[in-house]
Amino acid sequence: MFKVSKSSRPTDWTTKDYRDPVVVKQLKKDFYGKCYICEQKHFPNLNVEHFIPHLDDETLKLDWNNLYYACSRCNSIKNKYYDDMLDCCNEDHLVEEWIKVYYRMPDEDIEVINTCPNRHEYHTKAETSKELISKCFNNANSGIQEVSKEDLREKIFEVHNDFLILRREFFKELDNWQDEDKIKKADEIKHRLKSHYAFSAILRGYLEKDTKWRNALEEIEQLKLQQSA
């Protein structure tokens, strides 16, 4: 999951249709074009997802604060069954800290971990979120889910592989760079860990487990701070 600063309800949304183009366009902008659950971009079948299942309640159905941007795979898996999750639009819900995602090999299940402390008031929400996100990454319980999982995994593989190529180039050239070049390259890498980038949680999870790369980036960050002092 990733943090979202959601905008106010569009003033030009005047219909009683939550799929109105005005709604969809603003949600796409607010959520960086990413599914708020699996974090993929550029998916053909998008859904305006109700964070709290509306169950035909007109108020929930048309509540701007209840409308989220999601892919059809995650929307169908979540369905009406999950209504007590961490909210990526709530600044008190530290979704990027409490939900860790680890991708290793194409055929292995993607691991999702809840790091919210057991006694924290949001631990149950984090546990529910972990369960849903794990299913969205790994479920293949039907023909449609098998195909959508394969497509999702290919997208993850491409982004993850690009990140590893970036790592290889980073260490290959590190000793040849001037300080300014090091800072620029480090900023480019950290750019991919931010909310707007596809599968940013997976990339953060990788970097967390790569001590050599993480330490090198932290050293460059200290260099950057020294230069700006």
Condensed to tens digits (0 to 9), the pLDDT of residues 47-68 reads 999 999 999 999 999 999 999 9
In the chain, the number of structural domains is: 1
In a domain, 211, yes or no: yes
User: What's the mean pLDDT in 136-153?
Assistant: 97
pLDDT tens per residue, range 30-41: 999 999 999 999
Percent of the chain residues past pLDDT 90, beyond the cut:
97
> What SS3 state is found at 7?
coil
In a domain, 184, yes or no: yes
In a domain, 155, yes or no: yes
Contact status, residue 31 vs residue 25, Cβ threshold 8 Å:
no
In a domain, 198, yes or no: yes
Q: Model confidence at 135, in pLDDT bands (50, 70, 90)?
A: very high
Contact status, residue 64 vs residue 9, Cβ threshold 8 Å:
yes
In a domain, 172, yes or no: yes
**What pTM was computed for the model?**
0.94
Angstrom CA distances, 154 to 40, 137, 147, stand at 11, 12, 11
**Cβ neighbours around 131 below 10 Å, total:** 15
Confidence check: pLDDT of 23 > 90: yes
Burial 40-68 (b: 16+ CB within 10 A, else e): bbebeebbbbbbbbbeeeeebbbbeebbb
In a domain, 51, yes or no: no
Confidence check: pLDDT of 229 > 80: no
In a domain, 150, yes or no: yes
User: What's the mean pLDDT in 198-215?
Assistant: 98
CA pair distance 50, 139, nearest whole angstrom: 21
In a domain, 123, yes or no: no
Per the structure, the complete domain to which residue 178 belongs is given by 143-228
